[in-house]
Structure 1
Protein backbone atom coordinates (compact mmCIF):
# COMPACT_ATOMS: atom_id res chain seq x y z
CA UNK A 1 0.00 0.00 0.00
CA UNK A 2 1.46 3.34 -1.03
CA UNK A 3 1.84 6.39 1.21
CA UNK A 4 -0.92 8.12 -0.77
CA UNK A 5 -3.30 5.24 -0.14
CA UNK A 6 -2.47 5.23 3.57
CA UNK A 7 -3.17 8.96 3.81
CA UNK A 8 -6.72 8.32 2.57
CA UNK A 9 -7.61 6.03 5.49
CA UNK A 10 -9.65 7.68 8.25
CA UNK A 11 -10.67 5.95 11.48
CA UNK A 12 -14.15 6.84 12.73
CA UNK A 13 -15.25 5.61 16.13
CA UNK A 14 -17.45 6.20 19.17
CA UNK A 15 -14.57 6.37 21.63
CA UNK A 16 -12.10 8.99 22.81
CA UNK A 17 -8.96 7.06 21.84
CA UNK A 18 -10.27 5.62 18.56
CA UNK A 19 -8.99 2.15 19.43
CA UNK A 20 -9.84 0.76 16.00
CA UNK A 21 -6.82 2.64 14.64
CA UNK A 22 -4.58 0.83 17.15
CA UNK A 23 -6.11 -2.53 16.23
CA UNK A 24 -5.50 -1.89 12.54
CA UNK A 25 -1.90 -0.90 13.28
CA UNK A 26 -1.32 -4.08 15.31
CA UNK A 27 -2.87 -6.31 12.66
CA UNK A 28 -1.53 -4.71 9.49
CA UNK A 29 1.35 -2.37 10.46
CA UNK A 30 -0.60 0.48 8.85
CA UNK A 31 -0.72 3.52 11.12
CA UNK A 32 -3.92 5.52 10.68
CA UNK A 33 -3.10 9.19 11.19
CA UNK A 34 -6.52 10.75 10.58
CA UNK A 35 -9.23 10.10 13.15
CA UNK A 36 -12.79 11.16 13.90
CA UNK A 37 -14.09 10.49 17.40
CA UNK A 38 -17.38 10.99 19.19
CA UNK A 39 -17.71 9.99 22.81
CA UNK A 40 -20.94 11.66 23.91
CA UNK A 41 -22.97 8.46 23.59
CA UNK A 42 -25.10 10.06 20.87
CA UNK A 43 -25.13 8.83 17.25
CA UNK A 44 -22.93 10.43 14.62
CA UNK A 45 -25.09 12.48 12.27
CA UNK A 46 -24.45 12.65 8.54
CA UNK A 47 -23.93 16.43 8.66
CA UNK A 48 -21.29 16.32 11.38
CA UNK A 49 -19.52 13.43 9.64
CA UNK A 50 -19.39 15.34 6.36
CA UNK A 51 -18.11 18.46 8.17
CA UNK A 52 -15.43 16.42 9.96
CA UNK A 53 -14.30 14.76 6.73
CA UNK A 54 -14.03 18.13 4.99
CA UNK A 55 -12.01 19.49 7.91
CA UNK A 56 -9.61 16.53 7.77
CA UNK A 57 -9.20 16.68 4.01
CA UNK A 58 -8.72 20.45 3.69
CA UNK A 59 -6.47 21.22 6.65
CA UNK A 60 -3.50 19.89 8.56
CA UNK A 61 -5.82 18.59 11.31
CA UNK A 62 -5.43 14.88 12.07
CA UNK A 63 -8.02 14.40 14.84
CA UNK A 64 -11.57 15.76 14.91
CA UNK A 65 -13.86 15.36 17.93
CA UNK A 66 -17.60 15.48 17.23
CA UNK A 67 -19.79 17.14 19.86
CA UNK A 68 -23.26 17.56 18.33
CA UNK A 69 -25.94 16.43 20.76
CA UNK A 70 -23.69 16.65 23.78
Structure 2
Protein backbone atom coordinates (compact mmCIF):
# COMPACT_ATOMS: atom_id res chain seq x y z
CA UNK A 1 0.00 0.00 0.00
CA UNK A 2 1.26 3.49 -0.80
CA UNK A 3 2.11 5.59 2.22
CA UNK A 4 2.22 8.92 0.41
CA UNK A 5 0.43 11.35 -1.89
CA UNK A 6 2.26 12.56 -4.97
CA UNK A 7 1.17 16.01 -6.18
CA UNK A 8 2.37 16.74 -9.70
CA UNK A 9 2.38 20.06 -11.47
CA UNK A 10 3.95 20.97 -14.82
CA UNK A 11 7.16 22.20 -13.18
CA UNK A 12 7.55 20.20 -9.98
CA UNK A 13 6.42 17.26 -7.91
CA UNK A 14 5.64 17.19 -4.18
CA UNK A 15 5.43 14.08 -1.99
CA UNK A 16 3.44 14.08 1.25
CA UNK A 17 3.34 11.06 3.54
CA UNK A 18 -0.05 10.22 5.02
CA UNK A 19 1.58 10.14 8.47
CA UNK A 20 2.36 13.87 8.05
CA UNK A 21 -1.31 14.82 7.53
CA UNK A 22 -3.15 15.88 10.67
CA UNK A 23 -6.39 17.02 8.98
CA UNK A 24 -7.94 17.76 5.61
CA UNK A 25 -11.01 19.39 4.14
CA UNK A 26 -12.61 20.28 0.80
CA UNK A 27 -13.49 23.70 -0.52
CA UNK A 28 -15.72 24.17 -3.58
CA UNK A 29 -17.25 27.33 -4.96
CA UNK A 30 -20.66 27.47 -6.61
CA UNK A 31 -19.42 26.79 -10.15
CA UNK A 32 -16.92 24.17 -8.99
CA UNK A 33 -19.73 22.25 -7.31
CA UNK A 34 -21.75 22.31 -10.53
CA UNK A 35 -18.79 20.79 -12.38
CA UNK A 36 -18.04 18.34 -9.53
CA UNK A 37 -14.61 19.68 -8.69
CA UNK A 38 -12.95 21.44 -5.78
CA UNK A 39 -9.75 21.94 -3.84
CA UNK A 40 -8.46 19.66 -1.11
CA UNK A 41 -6.61 21.30 1.78
CA UNK A 42 -4.11 19.11 3.61
CA UNK A 43 -3.10 20.35 7.07
CA UNK A 44 0.26 18.87 7.99
CA UNK A 45 1.79 18.15 11.38
CA UNK A 46 4.29 20.96 10.74
CA UNK A 47 1.39 23.48 10.85
CA UNK A 48 1.61 24.02 7.10
CA UNK A 49 -1.14 23.68 4.52
CA UNK A 50 -0.84 22.13 1.07
CA UNK A 51 -3.63 22.70 -1.43
CA UNK A 52 -4.48 20.33 -4.24
CA UNK A 53 -6.46 22.56 -6.62
CA UNK A 54 -9.14 21.74 -9.18
CA UNK A 55 -9.64 18.10 -8.23
CA UNK A 56 -12.36 16.18 -10.04
CA UNK A 57 -14.62 14.25 -7.61
CA UNK A 58 -12.97 15.72 -4.48
CA UNK A 59 -15.23 13.75 -2.11
CA UNK A 60 -13.91 10.47 -3.52
CA UNK A 61 -10.30 11.61 -3.11
CA UNK A 62 -11.07 12.86 0.41
CA UNK A 63 -12.44 9.41 1.32
CA UNK A 64 -9.30 7.75 -0.03
CA UNK A 65 -7.08 10.12 1.97
CA UNK A 66 -9.08 9.49 5.17
CA UNK A 67 -8.84 5.73 4.64
CA UNK A 68 -5.06 5.94 4.30
CA UNK A 69 -4.79 8.33 7.25
CA UNK A 70 -6.72 5.97 9.54
CA UNK A 71 -4.61 2.99 8.48
CA UNK A 72 -1.44 4.94 9.34
CA UNK A 73 -2.51 5.44 12.97
TM-score between both structures, scaled by the size of structure 2: 0.30
Larger proportion of strand? 2
TM-score between both structures, scaled by the size of structure 1: 0.31
Larger proportion of helix? 1
